Amino acid sequence: MAKQISQQTFDDVVRENMQEFEMDVEEAVQDAVEQFQSQGVGLDNIVKDASMYTGGDGEKPAVHPVVAALETLSQKLKESPSDGEIIQLLDAVRSECDIDLARRCLAGTNNGNSVLMKAMDKYKDNSEVLKSALKCFCSLVNGQPDVLDDAGTDLLLSLLGTHNSDAGILELVLRAIKLTCVKHEKNRQRYVEKKLVTELSELLSTFKKSPGVVKEVCGCFRVLTLDDDIRVPFGKSYDNAKLIVTEGNALKTILGICEDYKDNKSVLGESFSTLASLAVRDEFCQTVMELGGLNLILKTFQQSLKDKYLTRHVLIVLKALARNDNVKVAIVRAGGVEFVVEALIKHQANPSIAEAACAAITTIVLRNPHHAAKVMACGGHHHVIQAMKIHKTEPQLQKSACMALRNLVAREREYCDQVLALGAEELINEAISKHPICGDEAKAALRDLGCKVELKELWKGENHSIRA
């Protein structure tokens, strides 16, 4: 993780360049950037706008527009301005925050969170101003969820309860909650402890005819199941997924929504992705199938193979459900292998779809020689290798393809020659050299294909005695 500095530190170096070395503004900023980058400092959170610094003397930086707007907004909140004035100031802050993360960080370090919270609290009964404040807050926390505090969590949750008849406001509140959960385990746990799952489940049932609310609730469910905060050694993604399914009855509700929105690919895609995030236990996968979910998913797959968006989401949910052996068999019996291979053929130029197809094949053929034979008969191995050739610069695709090839031959070594004849060994070795994340999966594929592979012996157990 790159080292971080404050905006003040960066500003001091720029001013020093201008005063001590008589650099012009552009040169001073560029030199400061190069200095910090050479020291391994990440500057994504730093505003590097030359207009922040005065022309020749560089005595002090100009007040940045986002800071000026926040200061004015903070002052106006103490007065009795018109709604139009407040909305104009909120829009000014939002437009600056939407430019880049650096401006959002600058706003965050200049009391952006507390100012916007005061605005939302003061205008919580004024829907127009509240919507503007919520949009501004979403822009502020996009990529920097750390600014949220416990009081902010309580305010957002209270808005869910007090505006449970206004779909427009609910969408914005849900989006704000979702953004504050990305890469932030503490925020997720805080929401869950305050009964967010129950609130979301009720909203999903109440607003099932509102596609915007449905999509935002699904997004909130998914973000609660993430394990993406590197600052936390062990998150609660699994526990949250279990809670959503068992207490929120989410699987049945979401499948019902899928039936209602068969012709709305946007809602279907969100619903399928959410099902994939929640299918973390064997019995959950089984439940989806027993409720008719698998038939619905495969029918959608067959009807929407030309649609890139839906195809990708169907592949993701099939991969998740195929972790259950019974569901895996049902997928193959219903023609799922043919659909997956056809999707790989139709969308071979799309790396995300190709990756999802390879991942689905990997799971479907795992520990099942009959399924591997089915994939081979459909030419699946050929198209997996073709995807590797087309997308040599895509590490995740290369990794998924290596796993697919490994599982195809792991229990049926007679397929090795067919796979190797297509140039698999060279492609896998190339993936190892270009993409470090492919290492283990690629070497496992080479090993099971009977190729030469260099394995590192990480520990030999030498020079140390075993202690009881």
Give pLDDT, residue 399.
97
Q: What is the pLDDT of residue 57?
A: 46
Please, which residues have CB within 8 angstroms of residue 348's CB and are 6 or more apart in sequence?
Answer: 354, 383, 386, 387, 390
Phi, psi at 276, each rounded to 5°: -60, -40
Using an 8 Å Cβ cutoff, are 52 and 61 in contact? Answer: yes
Note the pLDDT tens digit of each residue in 281-309.
Answer: 999 999 999 999 999 999 999 999 999 99
Q: How many CB atoms lie within 10 A of CB 249?
A: 13
- Which H or E run contains 448? helix 439-448
Of residues 9, 11, 19, the one with CA closest to residue 56: 19
In angstroms, what CA-CA distances link 167 with 134, 162, 258? Answer: 13, 12, 20
pLDDT confidence of residue 170? 96
428 Cα distance to chain centroid = 27
Cross-strand partners of 3: 41
Q: Are 175 and 138 in contact (CB under 8 A)?
A: yes
Name residues whose C-beta falls within 8 Å of residue 52's C-beta, 6 or more positions apart in sequence: 11, 61, 62, 64
Q: Which two tokens stand for residue 160?
A: 């869910």
Q: Residue 58: how many CB atoms within 10 A of its CB?
A: 21
Given this model, what pLDDT does residue 54 score? Answer: 62
pLDDT score at 161: 87
Q: Is 383 left (phi over 0), alpha (psi -120 to 50) or beta?
A: alpha
pTM of the model: 0.90
pLDDT-flagged residues of the chain (< 50): 55-58
Task: Please name which of 126, 193, 210 lies closest in space to residue 153, comparing C-alpha atoms.
Answer: 193
Residues 6+ apart with CB under 8 A from 245: 251, 278, 281, 284
pLDDT, tens digit, 9 for 90 and up, residues 120-175: 999 999 999 999 999 999 999 999 999 999 999 999 999 998 887 899 999 999 99
Name the residue with tokens 């193979």: 305
User: Within 10 A of 328 (CB to CB), how many other CB atoms are there?
Assistant: 22
Q: Which helix (H) or strand (E) holds 14?
A: helix 7-20
Q: Structural domain boundaries of the chain?
A: 7-62, 148-248, 250-334, 346-453
Q: pLDDT for 12-29, tens place per residue?
A: 898 889 888 888 888 999
Return the pLDDT at 447: 95
Evaluate whether 395 touches 354 at the Cβ level (below 8 Å).
no
pLDDT of residue 460: 65
Instruction: Give the separation between CA 298 and CA 68, rounded to whole angstroms.
Output: 54
